[in-house]
Amino acid sequence: MLRSQVKYTVRDLQQLKGKRQLTHIHVKSGDEATAADQAGVDLMSCPFDTPIAQARLPEIIAAAPTAFISGSTPHGMATPEEAIRTGFKALEMGASSVYCSASPFLIEGMAREGIPVVGHLGFVPRHSTWTGCRAIGKTAEEAQELFQKMKELESAGAYAAELELVPHRLATYLCGKTSLLLMSLGSGDGCDTQFLFSDDILGDYNERMPRHAKAYRDFAAEYRRLQEERVAAFHEYVEDVKEGRFPEKGNTLSIKDDQFEKAREAIEKLT
């Protein structure tokens, strides 16, 4: 199957498990989705956790209509019913599946209704208060706990799970012990997909690059350059207005003399 021609289904992805590693990028806009699509990226995910993000989803879907795109659900869904409504809303807007970092309790509710769900294992940023910001699974005890959580997601009906900051050897081993598609974010190349955020790939921030990521461009520097150009352009505009250089003749409109005189005479009678 050529991803550029036919949209993946969950069944397609399940059949690809163990055959080749898929590429996966989290995008934030239609422009990024188009770029990822044209570059031949296999899978995408995008935000669906705020009203603004939800309003932007149709733009992202339209930008890459044959791409398999997962929407990231809001943190703090309180009940399975709320999770189900959110999941169906994402699917109705064009998402192929949803990502959810919540417990198997909520994931099971969505999966029970046929909503394709991606869970989260390893380091989970939204739950970092319990673990700290670090790799997960470096001890035998923690590795066993990670395995149990993986099986809980599998039993809950998730079809995949993001596996974040797990030692490469352990991640590869776990990938062979589950029917879940494991999506590696900083967990090596032994999983089913290799996952990065567009921010990482584009160097789209000023903070220190995460160890697990790789920047292929330096958009942060480009944004700084563009901001300097904005300031310079606005300053030149201000100076042109002050010195009478703007507007020029080509920036204004004209009216024929006879039409102006007719208008002036009519206005004078009214004043």
Of 156, 181, 176, 152, nearest to 14 (Cα)? 181
Mark whether 164 is an active-site residue: yes
Q: Which of 92, 113, 164, 261 is catalytic?
A: 164
Of 124, 220, 121, 105, nearest to 161 (Cα)? 121
Distance CA 165, CA 163 (A): 7
Which residues contact residue 157 at a Cβ distance below 8 angstroms, ignoring those fewer than 6 apart?
Answer: 107, 108, 110, 111, 112, 117
Say whether 165 sits in a helix, a strand or coil: coil
Q: What H or E segment, with its residue span, contains residue 31?
A: helix 30-38
Catalytic residues: 164
